[in-house]
Structure formats: C-alpha cells, structure tokens
Amino acid sequence: MEGGLGGNTGPTNPSDKSKVLDVKPLRTLVPLFPEPPEGPPFVCVPPNGPFLSGFSPFFPFSGQQVSQPTPDLNQNYLNSTAVPLRSVRAEPAPASGNGSHKHKSAGPSSVKKKAKRRKDSESVLTSLMNFNPGISLSERDDGNRQLVESVLLRFDALRRKLSQMEDAKELHSSIIKRSDLKAANMMLTKGVRTNMKKRIGVVPGVEIGDIFFFRMELSLVGLHFPSMAGIDYMAIKSGDLEGERVALSIVSSGGYDDDAEDPDVLVYSGQGGSASRDKEASDQQLVRGNLALERSFHRGNEVRVIRGLKDNVHQMSKVYVYDGLYKIQESWMEKGKSGCNMFKYKLGRIPGQPAAFATWKSIQKWKEGLPSRAGLIIPDLTSGAESTPVSLVNEVDDEKGPAYFTYSPTIKYSKPFKLVQPSYACSCHDACQPGNSNCSCIQKNGGDFPYTTNGVLACRKPMIYECGPTCPCIRNCKNRVIQTGLKAHLEVFKTRDRGWGLRSWDPIRAGTFICEYAGEVIDETKARQESGDGESEYIFHTNRLYESFKWNFEAESSEDFDIPSPVIISSKNSGNVARFMNHSCTPNVFWQPVMYEHNNEAFLHIAFFAKKHIPPMTELTFDYGIPQSGETQADNPPANGRKKCLCRSPKCRGYFY
C-alpha cells in the first residue's frame, strides 16, 4: 500500500482525543519522535517480530505466517497484508486529575470479561488465517465457473464470520466495521482469487447478469481490479516494449454525471476533477483511465461494463451487475455540473448478449405499475397474507394458474415437540444484542448471534433458536428473522417444462432469508398416500439424504442438522410460495431448521436461505433429497418413485424424488 504514517507529531497530552493525525503517504515519511518526558518510547519492529517484552503483534501478523512472494508493485491490484490504523482499537488513556473527561473505573469482573473476549477474538482471527487456499498458480491466473463461484462463496463465508464477530463487540467500539475489506485482505494475502491475468473481453467463469454486493468481489474474480477507481486498464505490449494503455472495464455507479438509463447505451463520464474537502472542482485531464478510454475508442476493443444500482433492501448499499461487453462509439468534452470540463464516452452494448441491466429496468417499470407486466394473472396470489405481494405470471401458455390450495404463510402442527428439559425465554426488554452473554436465546445458539446486523444468516448450524412469543423482546428483534415474513418481491411463474416455479424481482444476497416451508405436518401413512397420488413434490421430508456442501467458513463447526425427530410437511392443500420451488441438483437455495418455543413447547420451522447471490428473475431451487431406505414409498411407484430431472445442471443426477 502506498499510504502510511508520516509527519505525525505526538500529542502533548495522550488523553486528548480531539486532535486529528496528519496522515501522509509513505514517500513523504519523516519520523518525528516525542521527547522522553512527553510520551512513551517509540518502538519499531518488523511485522513478524521479534517483539520486545510487553509488546505483541496485531492482526493479521499475530497468526502463523506463510511465506509470500515479493509483490509486484506495478500491478494494479491490492496484495498487501497491511491493516488500516482505524481498524486497531486505541485503549482510552486514564483520566488525569485535571482532565475534562472522566472515565468510570471498571470492576475486576468487567475487566476480566473484556480481556477474555479480546483473547477469544484474537484466537478466532488467528484460526481464520490458517486456512488452505486450495487454488493452484495456474487457477489464480485463469479461472472457470466453478472457481469463480468457489472464490465468491469463500469470501462471503469469511465476511459473514467477521461481521458476526464485529457485531458481538461493544456497541461503542472504535473499530470501523468493514468486514468486506478485512475478508478481501485475508483472501488476497492467502492467494484465494482467480483470473489475475488481465485481459480484454470475456473473463473466464464470470457470466453476464452476475451480481456482486461488494466492490472487492469484482477484484477477487478478475472482473474489475481497482477497489475504488471506476476505470480498469492495462498496457498492451508491443514486442519487448510496453505500449499504450487500453481500457478493460468500467463501473458506472452514480459517482459522476453518467447517463445510464438506456439498457443498451451508456454515456460514461471520465474520472478526476471532482471537488473534495481539500480542493475545488477542476477540469479533467487526459491521463490514466481517461487516456485508456480514448485509446480504446480508437482501437475499437471491447470494454466490460459493470453497473452499480441501489440496493432496495439495504438502502446504504449498492448492487453491481455485470452487463456484458460494450464498445466506445464516441468521445467528447463538455461542461459538467461543477462548471468544469469533463470527458464523455458513449458506449454501445454489443448485440446478441443475454439481458442483464435491461431486466432491472423492466422490473422497475413493473413495480411502478403491475398491469404493465406481460402475462400477469394475479397481482397477489397471497390475498394479503404476506406483507409483500407475490404475483402470478404465465408467459408460456394459456393456463390460468395452479390447482386450488389455501395460502398459509406458516406451518401447522397438530401437536408440537415436547422439550426434554425446560427452556426459558430471554429477558431482553428491547432487542437481543449480539455479544450479550446473559441472553438465554444467544446461549441456546452456542453463544453466537445467528444473524448479522442486516439479518443475513451468519452460518449454517445443527439448529437455530429464535426468540419466541414468550420472549419480551420487541417484534423486530434481530433474532426473529423468519417470523417477519417475506422480504423479497417473489413471483410464481409458469416454466416451459417443469410446471410452476418461483423467482424474485429483487436481487438476493447470500444468506438472506427467502421463505419457510409452510403446510401441514403429517405422518408417514398420509405421506405414502399423497405420494401414491402423484403429489410427492408437495411433500417435504427432513430425514432424507441431501447432497453435502460447505457453506460456512473453513474453521467453523459442523453443518449437520440436529432435529429432535423427523418431520414431514405436506403443502398439497395448504401452503405458501415454497410449494412452487422446483428441484435442482445444483440449487441456489438451502434449508435450515429453526426452532422457537412457547409455553415450554417447541415449534420446528424449515427456513430457506440463499446459498449464493441470486440475480433478479433467476429461478429459486432447492435439493429435494433422496429417500432413505426406511422412508415409506407408495406401492409400485414408477422407477421406485423417481422422476426425470430437468434442472440441466452440469452435475444433474438425472432424476429426483
């Protein structure tokens, strides 16, 4: 990294937090040391030690070190293990007798608890760094679809784990919560990335329409290397000489005056010249990315376009969608809103590519007025049972809807589980807080809050315990995720060859709750009867064999479920949107058992979560599983109950039950 400490004068009063350090690049580093009476001695040691008595390394240098090749500083990608100073907590100095700030002294018990939490946190961070990259040098240079998905899944698993840890820290912690940057830093340090070789055009394994919720995800898979700059470029070599720079990709996310409404044409503004705290707006210069775009205009090479859009679920975030390959058609200079000159580049989308941004624009129109949706049958088939409407659409044939059923948003038990040991509700009178060791609901979850602050599932568990009706915490407590209903705008649609299916108008982030499997809990006798009637796709079994997969971060515990007794749910006559989810041998949704209690009775729920980021209008599917030898089957079913699988996955088993 090119930034660091430089020209920082030590404050005369260590307890004065009102002064701001003057941070300058390393190239201007002129160390100034405090006089002995004014502060502590200055200690300088290498990142990997050795350390003097009383001093210890900070993360990530505290973990076991792996020898790394010397990074090429000329490369345009982040490959540093440096951690921003803002991520290191500064312990408050003891209040002086004449100081204006007085601190309440913590008791011995409180100090010990904080020390234990800090020690546990450091131990977990060290273990998080000790994972096997599992990617060869050739795979880092050139990826494929499986590698790209693997890198993204591993990044998000690590990010969720770090986010869960940050949430559990003190509410008034001075640490800036950027788990995405920390996770990316760890991934880059360990070499868990792919498509490092810069290239013009298609990036192996990245498909048009793929979505990303963090800029660092673009870098990890080689789609767009800079973590902040909107233009990525490279120098084209001519023989032994390094030639002119050409643009590879651009990110249009509203930072400049882009005209981004047309799904096939993008008017992109050059970079630079923006006003900041230290300088006024100025004319843009034909250098770096702007020059690369100008060269690409004359060369006519393809440029990858990533569009950044507002995340409707998390208002402060953005979603990035890969919109495919464009070519620059025009370039000019004009006055911007600031009154300064700026470069403009008109890019046209190359015909014949799958729709991506165009799909987002269509959905925006549908939300503004549902009648404009082609093939719409019913605007809300739930009849208000869900807080978010679920539309029913058929663009394939003249069928007017599925067979009649009663819409029910939750599961119906004839009798609940009886708990072997009594279980107590939490005593949180506002909302359960991560890190609160006194919360009984957190204790039941093994001491970890099961969801991150934004409601995303942190990791799969044998069982997740949510707050129940007996708990006094508020209705929108973060530990009541599946009880708050649908969040995404879902659509039941007619597929071409698999009956009715389910998809979402909204982008869905990995770990997001989608819906639960609603219906009636039945016994094996009734399940056998319904299977014999050809309605097996409307039956959910918890005791089937499911394809194992790793979703949690490497260092985390088992993901095998621990259900008190098998549950069979029928959605034939009564159910919700989950009854329309089709089977896939490579699903993008998985199920997780969730339990909450009321009056010492346990109610098990089957909750569906996104396995990975899911673009809008992508069919939602889960694995139906394979019956165990003890599962009762109907008499003489065709091919032992098998049905031909039409998921068309590269790993398709050819059948499902």
pLDDT tens-place string over residues 247-305: 999 999 876 777 778 899 999 999 988 888 888 889 999 999 999 999 999 999 999 99
pLDDT tens digits, 330-377:
999 999 888 899 999 999 999 999 999 999 999 998 988 766 788 999
How far apart, in whole angstroms, are the C-alpha atoms of residue 200 and residue 137?
21
* Contacts of residue 149, Cβ cutoff 8 Å, sequence gap at least 6: 205, 612
Predicted confidence at residue 221, as pLDDT, reads 97
Instruction: Please choose, from the candidates 63, 57, 101, 199, the residue with its C-alpha nearest in 3D space to the C-alpha of residue 141.
Output: 199
Determine the 3-state secondary structure of 412 from DSSP: strand
Cα dist. 572→279, 412, 486, 517, 577 in Å? 66, 13, 21, 12, 12
Q: How far apart are CA 379 and CA 489, in angstroms?
A: 11
Q: Which residues, other chains included, contact 461 with Cβ-Cβ below 8 Å and sequence gap of 6+?
A: 445, 446, 450, 559, 592
d(CA 351, CA 52): 64
Give pLDDT, residue 134. Answer: 87
Parallel, antiparallel or unpaired: strands 391-393 and 490-494: parallel
Residues 6+ apart with CB under 8 A from 344: 267, 268, 269, 270, 330, 331, 332, 333, 334
d(CA 219, CA 357): 20
Distances from the Cα of 590 to the Cα of 72, 276, 395, 411, 551, angstroms: 41, 45, 28, 18, 10
C-alpha dihedral, 557 to 558 to 561 to 564, nearest 10°: -70
Of the pLDDT bands very low, low, confident and very high (cuts 50, 70, 90), residue 102 is very low
Q: Which of 232, 223, 179 is nearest to 202 (CA)?
A: 223
Res 624 pLDDT > 90: yes
Q: Taking a C-beta distance cutoff of 8 angstroms, is the pair 393, 505 a contact?
A: no
Contacts 24+ apart (CB under 8 A), 420-427: 422/600, 423/597, 423/600, 423/602, 425/467, 425/468, 425/470, 425/471, 425/472, 425/597, 426/467, 426/471, 426/472, 426/473, 427/472
3-state secondary structure of 322: strand
pLDDT tops 70 at residue 504: yes
- At 248, give phi and psi (nearest 5°): -105, -45
Res. 380: pLDDT tops 60 = yes
Cis? peptide before 60, omega within 30° of 0: yes
Q: Which residue has the higher pLDDT, 445 or 79?
A: 445
pLDDT at 642 over 70: yes
**What share of the chain has pLDDT > 70, as a percent?**
74
* pLDDT interval class at 617 (50, 70, 90): very high
Distance CA 411, CA 457 (A): 21
Does pTM surpass 0.85?
A: no
319-350 in b/e form (b: 16+ CB < 10 A) is bbbbbbbbbbeebeeeebeeeeebbbbbbebe
- The DSSP call for residue 494 is E
User: Are 275 and 337 in contact, with CB atoms under 8 Å apart?
Assistant: no
Q: What is the pLDDT of residues 507-556, one digit of tens each?
A: 999 999 999 999 999 988 888 887 766 667 899 999 999 988 999 987 66
Burial of 57 (0-12, 13-18, 19+ CB in 10 A): middle
Q: Which of 97-111, 197-211, 496-510, 598-612 comes out lowest in average pLDDT?
A: 97-111
**pLDDT over 90 at 433, yes or no:** no
Tokens representing 620?
A: 């939602």
Residue type, 654: G
Strand, helix or coil for residue 541 = strand
487/407 Cα distance (integer angstroms):
17
Residue 418 DSSP SS3: strand
Give the model confidence (pLDDT) of 211-240 as tens digits: 999 999 999 999 999 999 999 999 987 665
Q: What integer is the mean pLDDT of 619-634? A: 79
Between 209 and 35, the more confident residue is 209
Instruction: Tell which residue, 311, 281, 198, has the closest CA to residue 246.
Output: 198
Closest residue by Cα to residue 151 from 67, 72, 226, 219: 219
| CA atoms of 154 and 193, how far apart (whole Å) | 10
Tokens of 571: 């959605």
Question: CA 219, CA 206: separation in Å to the nearest integer?
Answer: 12
Q: Which residues of 484-507 are buried (b: 16+ CB within 10 A; e: fewer)?
A: ebbbbbbbbbbbeebebbbbbbbb
How many CB atoms neighbour CB 449 within 10 A? 21
Does domain 206-218+225-274+281-371 bear CATH number 2.30.280.10?
yes
**76, two tokens:** 């345009």
Q: What is the mean pLDDT of residues 23-29?
A: 47
CATH class of 404-629+641-656: mainly beta
| Main-chain dihedrals φ then ψ at residue 321, nearest 5 degrees | -115, 130
pLDDT for residue 353:
97
| Crossing angle for the helix pair 179-190 and 145-167, to the nearest 10 degrees | 130
State how far the Cα of 503 lies from the Cα of 501, in Å rounded to an integer: 7
Q: What is the pLDDT of residue 123?
A: 63
State phi, psi for 291 to the nearest 5 degrees.
Answer: -65, -40
Average pLDDT along the chain: 81
pLDDT for the residue 337: 85
Mean pLDDT of 581-601: 91
Average pLDDT value for residue range 612-618: 97
Structure-model confidence comparison of residues 643 and 613, the more confident one: 613
Q: Where are the domains of the chain?
A: 132-168+175-197, 206-218+225-274+281-371, 404-629+641-656
